[in-house]
Amino acid sequence: NELFLPNETVTHVPNIQRLNIDPVFPNRTNLLHIHNMAISRAFFFSFILQKAADNDEPGFMYYFMSVISDVAANRFINSSAIYYAPNMSFTPSYKGFFNKTMPLFAPRAYRADDFNDPYHLEGTSTLNTIDAVDLGAIPADTPSRNYSSDQYRINEWYHHWLPDPTKRQDSKTTYTIQITHFNGTNETFVWHGPPDPSDNPGPVKWSRPYFDCERSNKWVYGATLPIPDIFP
């Protein structure tokens, strides 16, 4: 496929299992930033989705603001997204519905090229324009636009973690955190998060470089992690 390059095209990719062994070269610091950001976001969302009550979980707008902030954090980050497995996303605002799940939900933010905007007289991109869309908001019977379908053009990263082959809670990595509340009481919370660095092959999986055709028109290299949650 002309839209992809082999994984070996990008060398010296950061790996959490070897961060204290292999050096991080100056031209790989942006990849290291993406690597660490992907890990931190996966741990953060895994924790808050399991710690908060179902009625207090983040609404859909929070996901959009989160992926936008990821792109705004580094000018070399092209896009950020959170993809839900089919019928696994729901919002606390749908309290009156019996079936609260959404068929698909995938908030994605990417850096748009604003060089041709009429108010931008210089005619060069500012890198400050970010477009956020829900890739799950698609018409019915359009498998080529369904990111969970094999007909979707660039969804190799989806099959790195989804669908979950086990569908069992005890198959996920367990973490423990001790929380001290403002009134002096202590709490030990056990939750499921991304794979541990000691697990094989580790928490981060890098997708093959692909050409982001008709969007950024650049070669893109991305990191993916799972966000475990307990379905209510």
pTM equals 0.85
* Phi and psi based region of residue 8 (left: phi greater than 0; alpha: psi -120 to 50; beta: remaining): alpha
Mean pLDDT of 166-194: 89
Which pLDDT value is given to residue 75? 83
Which pLDDT value is given to residue 174? 92
Alpha-carbon span 64 to 50, nearest angstrom: 19
Alpha-carbon span 108 to 81, nearest angstrom: 4
Give φ, ψ of 93 to 5 degrees.
Answer: -75, -15
Token pair 């994605």 is found at 108
pLDDT band at 19 (very low <50, low <70, confident <90, very high): confident
Percent of the chain clearing pLDDT 90 (strictly above): 31
